[in-house]
Amino acid sequence: MRDVTPDNITEVFTGYFGPDTDPRFKEVMGALARHLHAFTKEVGLTHDEWRAGLKAMEWAAEITTPERNEFVLMSDVLGLSSLVDMVNSHPGATSSSVLGPFHVSDAPPIAMGADLKGDFEGEVLLVQGQVRDLDGNPIPGAKLDIWQTAPNGLYSSQDPDQDIMSFHGLMTADEEGRYAFTTVRPVEYTVPTDGPVGQILNAAGRHPWRPSHLHFIITADGCRELVTEVFPEDDPYLDQDTVFGVRRDLVMSYEPQPAGTFPEGFDLSGKVDGAWSKVNFDFKLLRR
Amino acid sequence: MRDVTPDNITEVFTGYFGPDTDPRFKEVMGALARHLHAFTKEVGLTHDEWRAGLKAMEWAAEITTPERNEFVLMSDVLGLSSLVDMVNSHPGATSSSVLGPFHVSDAPPIAMGADLKGDFEGEVLLVQGQVRDLDGNPIPGAKLDIWQTAPNGLYSSQDPDQDIMSFHGLMTADEEGRYAFTTVRPVEYTVPTDGPVGQILNAAGRHPWRPSHLHFIITADGCRELVTEVFPEDDPYLDQDTVFGVRRDLVMSYEPQPAGTFPEGFDLSGKVDGAWSKVNFDFKLLRR
Ligand SMILES: [Cu+2]
Ligand SMILES: [Fe+3]
Ligand SMILES: [Fe+3]
C-alpha cells in the first residue's frame, strides 16, 4: 500500500496474507495485529514509550534461561497466562491455573498416605480428596503430580539445601479415585523482581506476592489433563495474586484438628503428637 | 481477587495499580492489558498457541544482538513501528517512516553537490530539494543525515566489502534550505528471514521485501527531528512494503535526463557522460 494510514493499517496488514494461509493462523495473527494497532492508536504511543517497551523485551531476553523465563513471567503478571487457562477451562470441570516455572519432571512415585514433610518444621497437614468426572463418577488410577514450596518459601529447584525431589511426588489415586498425603503448609512467595517485570510491578505500585498454594497436574486415561493449584482461604494474598491464578473453585480451607486424633493409614500414623490440620479437596476432570 | 474470570480480569488488573502510579503509565499499561485480554478472549487462544508465541519470543531473544534486533523487526512486520511513526506525525509536515537497523552514527560531513556513488556501478542519480517549515519558509542550515543501500542491496554495516561510511553522508542545507548530492539508485532488499519473523512471514504467505528507498534524518534548530525515507514510484514493492513504511507523501520519481546535460556545481560535473536521472524532493519540518 503506498498510502498506509492509521485508519487502514490493520486492513493493509490482513491484505498481505497469502491465499494459502492457514485460516486459524490468519485469525489469530490478524486479531493480534488489530488489537495492538487499536492499543497504539488509543493511547497515542510515543516513540519513547515504544522504545521503553523494546528495552523491556531486550532486558527480558538477556536474563531468560531455561530455568528462568522472563517472557512467561511477563505474560503471568499481565494476566495473559491466567486468561489462557480460563478460556480453555470447561465450566463444569475444576479450573486450571498457572503451571509456573517450578515444576520438576519425573517426580518420584509416592504411595497412598505418603509423607512429603520429612524433617521440615511445621504442623502436619493432611491433604485428601477424590478425583471424579463431571457426572460424579470416581476416576480410579488418576495420576496426581504434586509439588509445593518448602517452609522457607523456596521450591526445591530454587534451593541448594533441598533435594531436587523435596516436596514433589507422583501419587496414583485408588479404586475410588481417592488420594491422600501429608505435608506442611506451603507458604506465599514472590515472583522474581530483578528484571523488567519487577520494574513494571514497581512502576505500577504492585507487590510481587503470590498466595500460598499446592500445585497439581492430574492426568487420567480418556480425560483432559488438569494443571492447577489450590489456595487456602485464609491467605493474606488470596485477593491479590500477582499472577491472577486464584479462582473461586480453587479455594480450600485448613481444618484444625486436635492433638491425638491423627488417623491410621498414613506414613506418619503414630508419629503425630500435636495438633494437625486437614484439607479436603476434590477434583473434577473432563472426559474427552 | 479470589474470583478472577474472563469477564473481570481487565478490571482486576487495573485494580492492582497503586494510588501513586504515574497516570500515563496506568493509561498505557491498562490499555495494553485490555487489548491483549480482548485478543485472547476473541480468538480463544489455546495453550499451544500461547506456547508458540512464547517460543517466538525466546527465539527472538537468542538471535538478538546490538546489530540485529529481532524484537524491532517483529514490531516492524506487525505494522507497529509504522503506526507509532504515523500517530506521532504532524499532518502538515513530511511523514516520518521507519529508522531501520542500518543507520550509522557520525556520518562524515559532505559538501553541497557531493557524491556518494564513488566507484560503484550504475547510472548517476542527482537528488536535490529544499527543507522548509509548514509555512513554506526555507530552513537554512538544516542537517540531512543521508544513507542508502549499495547497488548490491547491502548497507555498509552489512557488507565487509564496503567502507563503513560508504553511502552515508551528513549534509548541511544552504542559506535557502537547499540540499543536493549525487548517488546511484538504492535497491529493494529483504528483511532477515532466518528467525521467528521469517517464520511468521512464511506462515502468512508474505514476502520479506522492502521497496528501495533513501533514508534521511533531518534536524534543525527549533524544529522537530524528522526520521524518514523516500521511495521511487516505479518500485515493484511500493504497494507491499513488508514493514508498512510507505506514505503517499514519501513517494518520489526518477526523472530521466539525456546524456550531456549534467549540470555544473557538483563533484561529478564534467565526469558524467551518459544519461542520468534526477529526483526533486522537498521536506517540511514542524517548528516546535
Ligand atoms: Cu483491542
Ligand atoms: Fe507455585
Ligand atoms: Fe532501509
Confidence of residue A133 (pLDDT cuts 50, 70, 90): very high
- Rounded mean pLDDT of B15-44? 98
B270 and B149 share a domain? yes
Contact A36 B203 (CB under 8 A): no
Alpha-carbon gap: B182 to the closest alpha carbon of chain A (Å): 26
Residues of chain A with pLDDT > 90, as a percent, come to 93
Q: Is the pLDDT reported for residue B20 higher than 70?
A: yes
Nearest to A84 among B45, B78, B86 (CB): B45
Based on the fold, state whether residues A110 and A224 are members of the same structural domain.
yes
**Residue A175 in this model has a pLDDT that exceeds 90:** yes
Q: Do residue A32 and residue A124 come from a single domain?
A: no
pLDDT in tens, A259-276: 999 999 999 999 999 999
Pairing, β A251-252 against β A214-219: unpaired
Q: Which of A33, A46, A246 sits opposite B1 (nearest CB)?
A: A246
Q: Is the pLDDT of residue A13 over 90?
A: yes
pLDDT confidence of residue A57: 97
Confidence label for A127 from pLDDT (cuts 50, 70 and 90):
very high
Distance from CA of B57 to the nearest CA of A (A): 7
The SS3 call for residue B122 is coil
Ligand nearest to C-alpha B167: 3
Task: Please check the confidence at residue B2 and state whether its pLDDT lies above 80.
Answer: no
Q: How many structural domains does chain A have?
A: 2
pLDDT digits (tens, 9 = 90+) for B178-227: 999 999 999 999 999 999 999 999 999 999 999 999 999 999 999 999 99
Distances (CA, A) of B7 to A42, A80, A86, B55: 21, 13, 10, 28
The answer to whether residue B115 is domain-embedded is yes
Cell of B277: 536521472
Residue A108 lies in a domain: yes
Question: Does one domain contain both B253 and B175?
Answer: yes
ipTM of this predicted structure: 0.93
Q: Which of A24, A29, A35, A76 would best serve as a mutation to test chain B binding (most B beta carbons within 10 A)?
A: A35
Under the banding of pLDDT at 50, 70 and 90, the label for residue B153 is very high
Q: Which alpha helices (H) appear in chain A, and where do they start and end?
A: 9-15, 23-43, 47-63, 70-77, 80-87, 196-203
Pick the ligand that lies closest to the CA of residue A36: 1
Determine the distance separating the centroid of ligand 3 and the alpha carbon of B148, expressed in angstroms. 6
Residue from A36, A64, A250 whose CB has the most chain B CBs within 10 Å, to mutate = A36
Indicate whether A2 pLDDT > 80. Answer: no
Q: Is residue B213 part of a domain?
A: yes
Please check whether residues A122 and A214 belong to one and the same domain. yes
Q: Give mean pLDDT, residues A30-47.
A: 98
Q: Are A99 and A35 within one domain?
A: no
Domain CATH for A142: 2.60.130.10
> CA of B219 to nearest chain A CA: how many angstroms apart?
17
pLDDT of the residue at B79: 97
pLDDT at A69: 92
In this structure, is the dihedral angle defined by the CA atoms of residues B263, B267, B273 and B278, taken in order, positive or negative? negative
- β-pairing, A276-280 vs A125-133, is parallel
Identity of residue B57? M
A114 SS3 class: strand
With bands split at pLDDT 50, 70 and 90, how would you rate the model's confidence at A255? very high
The CA distance from B233 to A127, in Å, is 72
Q: Do B41 and A13 make contact, defined as CB atoms within 8 angstroms? A: no
Residue B68 counted as domain residue: no
**A136 backbone dihedrals φ, ψ, rounded to 5°:** 90, 0
User: What spacing in Å lies between the alpha carbon of A229 and ligand 2's midpoint?
Assistant: 8
> Is residue A238 one of the residues assigned to a domain?
yes
- pLDDT, average across residues A168-182: 98
| Pairing label, strands A214-219, A226-232 | antiparallel
Confidence of residue B1 (pLDDT cuts 50, 70, 90): low
Is the pLDDT confidence value at A1 over 70? Answer: no
Percent of chain A with pLDDT over 70: 100
For A199, the domain range is 81-285
Would the CB atoms of A83 and B44 count as touching at under 8 Å?
Answer: no
Closest C-alpha among B172, B122, B124, B123 to residue B146 = B172
Answer yes or no: do B166 and B245 share one domain. Answer: yes
Q: Are the Cβ atoms of A60 and B61 closer than 8 angstroms?
A: yes
Co-location of A34 and A85 in the same domain: no
Q: How far is CA B238 from CA A3, A122, A144, B248, B252, in A?
A: 10, 70, 58, 10, 11
pLDDT in tens, B64-117: 988 789 999 999 999 999 999 999 999 899 999 999 888 888 999 999 999 999
CA atoms within a 13 Å half-sphere pointing along the CA-CB vector of A197: 26
Of B27, B50, B85, the CB nearest to A43: B27
Average pLDDT for residues B173-177, to the nearest whole number?
98
- Residue whose entry in the numeric block shows the C-alpha cell 556501478: B121
* DSSP bridge pairs for A128: A180, A280
Residue B55 lies in a domain: no
| Cβ within 8 Å, pair A35-B32 | no
In a domain, A55, yes or no: no
Q: In this model, does residue A64 exceed pLDDT 70?
A: yes
| Phi, psi angle pair for A228, to nearest 5° | -155, 180
Q: What is the pLDDT of residues B230-270, one digit of tens each?
A: 999 999 999 999 999 999 999 999 999 999 999 999 999 99
What average pLDDT does the structure give for chain A?
Answer: 96
Note whether B118 and B213 are same-domain residues. Answer: yes
Work out the average pLDDT over A183-196.
Answer: 96
Query: Does residue A103 sit in the same domain as residue A204?
Result: yes
Whether residue A66 is contained in a domain is answered as: no
Same domain, B4 and B126: no
Ligand with the closest atom to the CA of A43: 1
Handedness of CA B107, B109, B111, B112 (dihedral sign): positive
Q: Check whether residue B148 and residue B13 sit in a common domain.
A: no
The CA-atom distances, in angstroms, between B251 and each of A43, A217, B257 are 29, 58, 19
Check residue A100 and give its pLDDT.
87
